[in-house]
Structures are given as structure tokens and as C-alpha cells.
Amino acid sequence: MSSEEKDLLAEMDVLSTEMERLFYRLFHPKLPLKTSGGPCWHPLTDIHETEDSFVVKMELAGVTKEDMTIQLEGDRLTIIGIRREQPCQGVKAYHQMEINYGRFERVILLRAAVEREAISACFEEGFLEIRIPKAIPGHNVTRIEIVSEEE
């Protein structure tokens, strides 16, 4: 098999994977979490659910925790950061470049009630893992006292 044929097969494999992701997103629209983002590169992200939480795992090799910001505003969990390109000395020509550098942003819409104060993040070996505990039913209930206008 020639290298051109191998390259074509590799491209077809990538296309197949992306099509599977697209169809999955089309036919599973009621997931409790949804991702979106702007015109930046998008780190590979897995989102799964356990019995008591949602877990976001993001591949961020080469990014430092100082170059990342995680914030929760309303129902939007936003991860923003930058992967800085390391200059290579003596490079004559690049034959392949697949690693994305620069600014990234991922927005995850929380479509379920969560314990906002208990969200935690851990960054180890190039992976960011964010644990988002599910809200306990009745836990966020506030009793409101009724007062009459006569008092």
C-alpha cells in the first residue's frame, strides 16, 4: 500500500469518526450537558455521567493550569485558555502539523440542576477533569415566609 493510500485511509477514518460524533449529537439532543464554543480550537472533551455527578474530561497536553480559567455563570461552564507554541530551533520544514496552538474556549451548558458550590477541578498529566455534582432534590429549597400587609 502506498503512502498516499495510507493517508487517504487515515483521512477517511477521521471523517468517519467525525460523522459518528455528528450523528450522536443529532440523535441525543436531550443530554444534560451540551458543549459549544467560538472560533478557537477545541480541545478533545469527554463528558459522562455517574450516579451523583457529571464529569468533564478535557485533553490539554502542553497547557499549564496558569494558562486556564474555569468559570460558571448561570448555566454556562466555560473553560478558556491558551496552548503556547514552543519554538523549535533549526527547523528547515514541517512535514506534518496536527497540534493546535493558541487560544481555546469550550462552553458547556448545564441542562440539569447542579450543586454549584461543590464543583471541583483537577489537572494532571495533561488532562483537566471537572466534577459537577448533581443537585440533591429538595436540597436547594428555600422556605419563603408570607407576611400580611397589616403587619
Instruction: Summarize pLDDT for 51-88 with one digit per residue, the tens.
Output: 999 999 999 999 999 999 999 998 899 999 999 988 88
* Prediction pTM value: 0.66
Q: Please measure the distance between the N-terminal and C-terminal CA atoms of the chain and give it in whole angstroms.
A: 88
SS3 call for 87: coil
Give dist(CA 91, CA 113) in Å, integer.
51
In order of 46, 93, 132, the CA distances from 59 in angstroms are 9, 27, 18
Question: Which residue has 450523528 as its cell numbers?
Answer: 23
